[in-house]
């Protein structure tokens, strides 16, 4: 099976060390792929931590629903939630504060993980143009997370005094000062824009990127992780399985490159 040189496009025999056309060193590709997989491994570990936090967030949602009959959005859909839920009891305050605080924590950790994911795709993009779109997608993810953190940070800042003023009966009303409404509206708008960027970034960055990884390294673990991430939008704890699958796929890909059983020289035509 021939391999295509990413530098000049010349086809070379499998196992060639240098390109017969431009003398490009194929060993460089293997080294960069190993660096890329190392960054991907770090992403997967941080993503696993994020999945644990998200599962805790999911559990709080279930407890609030079970104990108080209140329902919160969680996971990716939480980006579009805000102060849309009415609370009939001040006993819910602790759940709401935990929910919003955990959401911000998730966003912080996700931002860090997406930085490593983007670094992984950037290295692969140097010799495989199939990773150009995932690289752009991860950039949108990072920007979206930052905007979402800002938006939800503003909402959380005004949510605390709002919940503190809730009365013990359903008839009690809590209102924000008129001067604060503009800040709340701005925070909500920024959060929504961040959410939209997150959705686009998830599709062309994380999901498409995992599929491209599965094709490049011939490793089905990445495609299985992709499916788990999609289903996790409805059942958050499945993110734990997705993170573990990415870790397993990364380790197997690195091992196959090291022992030479993977054609690491394949590049996009």
Alpha carbons 180 and 120: distance in angstroms, whole number: 42
Output the pLDDT for position 152.
Answer: 74
Which range scores top for mean pLDDT: 57-61, 156-160, 221-225? Answer: 221-225
Question: Which whole-number Å values give the CA distances from 32 to 125, 148, 158, 194, in the listed order?
Answer: 10, 32, 47, 32
Q: Which two tokens stand for residue 266?
A: 């394949």
Is the pLDDT assigned to residue 22 strictly greater than 80? no
- Domain residue spans of the chain: 22-256
Strand-pair partners of 3: 12
What are the backbone dihedrals phi and psi of residue 262, each rounded to the nearest 5 degrees, phi first?
-110, 135
Neighbours of 208 (CB within 10 A): 17
- Mean pLDDT over 130-147 rounds to 93
pLDDT score for 234: 85
Task: Grade residue 149 by pLDDT with cuts at 50, 70 and 90.
Answer: confident
Instruction: Give pLDDT tens digits for 203-256.
Output: 999 999 999 999 988 899 999 999 999 998 888 889 999 999 999 999 999 888
- Residues 85-136 have pLDDT tens digits of 433 444 555 655 666 666 677 778 888 899 999 999 999 888 788 899 999 9
Which residues lie across from 18 on neighbouring strands? Answer: 25
Confidence at 269, pLDDT banded by 50, 70, 90: very low
Straight-line distance from the first to the last Cα atom of the chain, in angstroms, rounded to the nearest whole number = 14
Dihedral angle at the C-alpha atoms of 229, 235, 236, 240, nearest 10 degrees?
-60
Distance CA 170, CA 91 (A): 12
Between 182 and 191, residue with greater pLDDT? 191
Predicted confidence at residue 221, as pLDDT, reads 95
Checking if the pLDDT of 177 tops 90, the result is no
62-71, 83-92, 191-200, range with greatest mean pLDDT: 191-200
């Amino acid at each position: 099976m021939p391999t295509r040189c990413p530098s000049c496009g010349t086809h070379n025999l499998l196992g060639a060390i240098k390109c017969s056309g431009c003398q490009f060193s194929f060993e460089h590709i293997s080294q960069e792929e190993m660096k890329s997989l190392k960054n991907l491994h770090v992403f997967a570990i941080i993503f696993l931590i994020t999945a644990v936090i998200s599962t805790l967030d999911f559990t709080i949602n279930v407890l609030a629903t079970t104990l108080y009959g209140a329902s919160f959005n969680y996971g990716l859909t939480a980006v579009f939630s805000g102060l849309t839920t009415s609370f009939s009891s001040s006993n819910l305050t602790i759940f709401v504060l935990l929910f919003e605080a955990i959401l911000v924590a998730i966003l912080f950790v996700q931002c860090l993980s997406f930085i490593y994911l983007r670094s992984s795709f950037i290295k692969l993009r140097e010799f495989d143009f199939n990773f150009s779109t995932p690289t752009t997608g991860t950039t949108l993810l990072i920007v979206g997370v930052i905007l979402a953190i800002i938006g939800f940070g503003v909402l959380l800042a005004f949510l605390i005094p709002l919940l503190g003023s809730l009365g013990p009966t359903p008839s009690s009303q809590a209102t924000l000062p008129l001067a604060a409404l503009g800040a709340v509206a701005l925070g909500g708008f920024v959060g929504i824009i961040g959410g939209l960027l997150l959705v686009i970034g998830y599709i062309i960055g994380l999901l498409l990127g995992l599929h491209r990884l599965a094709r490049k390294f011939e490793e089905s673990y990445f495609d299985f992780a992709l499916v788990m991430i999609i289903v996790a939008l409805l059942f958050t704890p499945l993110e734990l399985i997705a993170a573990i699958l990415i870790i397993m796929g990364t380790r197997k890909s690195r091992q196959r490159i090291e022992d030479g059983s993977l054609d690491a020289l394949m590049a996009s035509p």
